[in-house]
Amino acid sequence: MSERDVEDIINEIENYNKKKIDGKILACAMRLVYYAGLQRNEIPVLTIGDVYEPGGKIRDKISNFNIDISDRNIRIKLSDHYDYTKAKGCLMSQTDPFFHKYYSDGSDLDIVVKRIGDHLKRINSEYKSLIRDLRNQGMKYFYEKCTGTKESALEETADQFRVTERSVKDSINDKITPPGKQKPQGKHKVNMVSLKHSEGLLALDYSNIKQIKSAIDVCYNEIYTLSDTGLGKSEKHIKVGAFKNFIVTLLKDWKQ
């Protein structure tokens, strides 16, 4: 997952502007998650003064959380965010909320955090774990930008994202799911495998019996060795059904 991939996701959010969701504001929050390691619960309590000095100059660090925002990519967007919210007529004193659409005084923090997640899922159903995934990918990006030894880069990244060094190592070694993508389980995994084999039928030589038999064996083995994780009691038959559908499709194509 490259920085370009992350930007494509955030740009999709930024260009969304309907059903009372301001994509520009939400996109800025996601950039702070990625580039600065902002946490989910910190989004609603961030203030103008945490990020900007009086007059709109961007601070070197988010003062409330002491996290670095010197990366050029985020500073350009923070400048744009200041101009955008000011033009919308939002209050811009040091104590006013940074994300006006998602402000919480602390009493309703859980509700506001849930609203952020709901809005992300409304933009794209695959974004239900986007904040977690962006933080993980952001750790890798931040680590690679660090100068000095690997040990010092590891420590700096852990401090920035306020996680253990082990978590940073996991992100560096790609032991995470890419942003916006959930690892398929249960019937979704079975359906994906079944579809893959069904699409492969187009490439078969139907005069070659050995090739046909091999395709059947491969499909059977892959489907039946899938984990039952995510399958309810009433769904245990789905692997049988998926293989039967494959055979039916195979026979139809064979006759043609």
Q: Which domains does the chain have, with CATH numbers?
A: 3-172 (1.10.443), 186-255 (no CATH)
202, 245 Cβ separation under 8 angstroms: no
**pLDDT band at 177, cuts 50/70/90?**
very low
- Does the predicted model carry a pTM greater than 0.75? no
Mean pLDDT of 210-224: 82
Give the three-class secondary structure for 147: coil
Taking only the tens place, the pLDDT of each residue in 39-77 is: 999 999 999 999 999 989 999 999 888 899 999 999 999
The whole-chain average pLDDT of the chain stands at 86
Question: How far, in Å, CA of 29 to CA of 16, rounded?
Answer: 14
Q: Which long-range contacts (CB under 8 A, 24 or more apart) does 157-161 make?
A: 160/36, 160/37, 160/67, 160/68, 161/37, 161/135
Q: Where is pLDDT greater, at 130 or 227?
A: 130
Among residues 115, 117, 112, which one has the least CA distance to residue 132? 117
Mean pLDDT of 95-110: 91
